[in-house]
Structure 1
Amino acid sequence: MQKWGGFVLVLVSFMGTGKYSRVKYYLGSKDNYFETSFVSRALGEFFNPDKWLVITTEEGMKNLESLKREAQDEKIQAIKISIPREERDVWEILDKLNDNLEQGDEVILDITHAFRHIPFLSFVIMTYLQVARGIKIRGIYYGAYESRDGDYVPIFDLSDALVFSEWIYSARDLKDYGRNEGISSIMKEWQNQMYARESKPSMRYTKKYANMLERISRGIYLNQIRDVMKYAYNLSKLSPDVKEELEKYFKPLTLLYRDFTIFEKFGCEDCYDKLSKETLRKQLLIAEYQTGIGLLGESLENLREWIVNFVFYLSNFDNSLWLERENRIEVEKGITGMAMEKRGEKIEKNGVYYYLRSNVDEIERKSGVNLITLWNLITSKRNLIAHSGMSKDSLNLEELKNSTKSILKDCSTLIKYLEDWK
């Protein structure tokens, strides 16, 4: 079988029951035409596919036989279906296309001669197979007989519809999972196209904004919390200019603008280097967001570090030294020492331990939250994930989710009383 650059090119077309006139179908310009009664025949000449699938019903077989006689092409393969009236009929089309396509195939989809709603269903099915099977839709074409000029009939290239399917995936990733890579790529590509078309580019901020969205997403998933705060703050400063650019040059993305601005609430001008109440508040907001999109492990790891920051802020440490590893280890030792003492274990006491020993009861009295119990809960749940399940304790996802939400609630309570202790 002939292959286009290592992949198989498959023409997928439909055959209805109508009476098709012989005309000159052209693609691009009228000089590039082929005279036939069937659009798929013209596309077969234009693209020379390795494989040719024609989907039809029992009623459409007569037209299919006419196509076979005209084309004299042994590659034509009939796929008979029922007219889709209910869900199982849709699965029939999916199953038959899946059976006749291989991973890596590239498809030319002709939606011209099809019964009413079948073109819509076929596009949705092919889009699904593109993701599920690694099949690529190379182009979508429609022979617009109603737009004919004498004997000449244009074939419209509708491949831009594929762009919208990519937008759908990217928008879903953004809204449901906080993944900005797809939508960022679309924004950057759009600005690149604007640059290529204009001598004096009018879009100046969108690409920079897209890069920040991508870094925020990466920071949320890799728990680079300070990066998230920094880029979210920078994002908020660019937002008005980007909103104006999108409304003027890329209006479809304005529908997602509100979703972009959600990340601005994580922004903090001084939080990258400075530990403050605002740092703690923003860090907690990020942990809440991580929990909401299902990043429970990342959220628990973040919350563990939040407790360290909280105690660091409360104690007499120099807050400018909060990122020094040896200082953070000292804070962890102090918290862990309190937890070990509660279990009757031998401990090494340090300044943080003595601070907590003097203040932990007062913290609980005012807030209703026992800091050491909270630390134990966070570390036990976090360890279930951090050690890849290498433990006799099994992971109950629903219980873990509820525990994480409970931890977040207690941390939020601690912040409310922070000024009373500081």
Structure 2
Amino acid sequence: MYYRKLGIKLLLHPGTYFGFIWLTAVISQLILELSGIKFLTPFPEFVNEMNVLVIFTGICFIFIIFLTPNYFRFNHKIKILFINKSLYKIVSYLTLFGATFKLVYTWYMLGVAWNLAEIRVAYAAKRGYFNDTVSLFSLLSYMNFFYTVISIIAGYCIGLLFQFKRAPIRSRWLLSIPFVVTIIYTLTIGGRNPLAYGIKLYLFGFALSLVPQTVRILSRKLIIYIILGVFSFFLFTTYVAEQRDEVAGNISFSQYLDNTYLKPFSGIIQYMNAHYWGYQLRRFDSFDPNNLGYGKYTFYGILNFRVPFSNALFGTDISILDFFSDLSYNKLDYFALQADGREGYYTTRSVYLEMICDYGQIGIFVFILVFVFLTNYLYILIEKRRLISVISILPLFFVFSYWSSSNFQSVFATNVYGPIISFFVYDFLNKKV
């Protein structure tokens, strides 16, 4: 029903990514239970609670999509206005230079290179140092200001080339620069999330370009590419997980799995279960039903407006919340958890932890329903239009990012003003350059 309703445009709908992520997570959790692995399930009741929330979210998506008109039947192409090749080229090379310089600088400061696990350990140990004291590090980050925008545009142009053999930007090298930057980001922090995020940006742009009637002819080829991409990422997560276990001196997680066919996928099983583990820990030690946030934790990044370039200019971030002590403290923040000595402070916990800390055990269901409805509404707004600007993508992009990263944390809890400003500035320069 889901495919019949949306067609190939399901690749643009945030619900698709939510469904894929949590189907993988639920299956991974089930595999752990069947394998008798208990150390990642300290509070089984919270695992059940999380599964109920996931199922309810899925039902909301299915129900609301069922009520959605068949816009995918309108066989039109969504055209992004003002794709300026000269601007894209300048910004892409600037981003590539900033990412490369940041990589070299980070490796030099950490004294490690190439081994992702060693990089991860060293980077995590000095994360606060980089964020708070290194002005050069901040300046290099600003050079990557347009990374999100150019990745979406690259994916969009690749989609046009895939379908029509023509696009505003046709150079394979130029269109691959954002992905090269993604690889550099992965090597900079030794994590898997930058790679997943970069792929999702390309997919978002690619999906914007899709014309249902055209893609039906190419659907088999597209499906093969997607399956190969997913399979490759699963194997990559296992490679990284094995490296981390080796560096930490731990038993390889794959050794806990009895099934030989599951061992190559032990990385993704462990990766997706980390969110369950994090949710259980934070649900136990951070949820207070008598002190709800009412949006503070889910939308902390919107409230926490930081003065642009303040870190680079003054050596510290200046935020509006600094003047409101009752709002400025975020108990779910990485450094707050670390300072409190919380177990597993470094792991992810999913958007459901922020939701329940904000709205409680009953209110969370209301919030999910409303937010799913809003997500679908923003999807329809884009789907109905033939011409869009870079700025008009922004609302759908945010809810896309929210649900496609829902196993980590709310994207609205982090710095949302960076992407907003970058979209506006890029759109302005598009018309001027």
TM-score category (smaller protein): under 0.3
Q: TM-score with structure 2 length normalisation? A: 0.21
Q: Higher helix proportion, which one?
A: 2
Decide which structure has the larger Cα Rg and report it.
1
Structure with a larger share of its residues in strand: 1
Q: TM-score, normalised by structure 1?
A: 0.21
Q: Which has the higher contact order (CA 8 A, sep 6+)?
A: 2
